[in-house]
């Protein structure tokens, strides 16, 4: 792994904000409606609104259309509503960082998943968030393309890989591998599944989301 890739890190930053018109309107006038995710653009943000059922005509939807600068209905229960960027979204768009994803949690909280070139950049952005009076919390951060496995998990994954367990024509069974390692099959299976979950999650976070 190159040092450039190794130094990149991903941070999950939770921000509470109250200046999003679409979010505030949905929270006030609709029940059983959730904002699943948002897409941030240079001057506006798209909000994906998921309804149990969209009933038209509905005065609330007419007003939502007026609030939103662009309103697109998709299928039976989804609406994309456009609104100018809130303070938080506008802040991160101007920070010169890569915003990998953003997800709305609860009423007025967004979790931003952001790629930073290094930890110093994260510290710089944290200072800027404080200066901008953002109500934020850094939930976690981890290095991109790195998987934090325990020493036992590393040992198990290396052992079963080199033992041919993942080959199409499996050379050794999990029981045989467990016997060779002098541990129970159940213990080996649990450790293997925990390690593989971390590896797969890391791949999904970096390549699919």
What pLDDT digit, counting tens, does each position of 101-112 carry? 888 887 789 999
Helical residues (DSSP H) of 30-70, grouped into ranges = 59-67
* pLDDT score at 134: 95
Phi, psi torsion values for 174, nearest 5 degrees: -65, -35
**DSSP string for residues in 67-116:** HSSEEEEETTTEEEEEEE--HHHHHHHTTT-EEEEEEEETTTEEEEEEEE
* pLDDT score at 7: 54
What pLDDT digit, counting tens, does each position of 180-198 carry? 888 888 889 899 888 888 8
Q: Which residue has the tokens 């904002």?
A: 35
* pLDDT score at 144: 63
Mean pLDDT, the chain, whole residue set: 84
What pLDDT digit, counting tens, does each position of 114-151 carry? 988 888 899 999 999 999 999 999 998 877 665 677 88
Which is more confident, 201 or 116?
Answer: 116
Say whether pLDDT at 2 is over 50. Answer: no
- Buried/exposed 24-56: b ≥16 CB within 10 Å, e otherwise: bbbbeebeebebeebebeeebbbbbbebeeeee
């Amino acid at each position: 792994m190159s040092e450039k890739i190794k130094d990149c890190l991903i941070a999950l930053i939770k921000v509470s904000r109250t200046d999003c018109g679409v979010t505030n309107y949905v929270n006030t006038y609709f029940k059983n409606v959730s904002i699943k995710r948002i897409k941030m653009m240079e001057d506006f943000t798209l909000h994906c609104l998921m309804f149990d059922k969209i009933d038209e005509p509905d005065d609330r939807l007419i007003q939502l259309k007026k609030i939103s600068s662009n309103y697109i209905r998709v299928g039976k229960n989804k609406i994309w509503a456009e609104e100018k960027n809130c303070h938080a979204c506008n802040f991160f768009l101007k920070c010169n960082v890569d915003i990998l994803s953003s997800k709305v949690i609860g009423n007025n909280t967004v979790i931003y998943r952001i790629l930073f070139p290094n930890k110093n950049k994260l510290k710089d952005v944290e200072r800027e968030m404080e200066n901008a009076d953002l109500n934020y919390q850094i939930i976690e951060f981890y290095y991109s393309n790195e998987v934090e496995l325990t020493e036992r998990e590393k040992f198990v994954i290396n052992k079963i890989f080199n033992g041919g367990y993942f080959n199409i024509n499996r050379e050794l069974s999990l029981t045989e591998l467990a016997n060779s390692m002098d541990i129970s099959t159940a213990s080996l299976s649990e450790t293997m599944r925990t390690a593989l979950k971390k590896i797969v999650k890391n791949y999904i976070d970096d390549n699919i989301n």
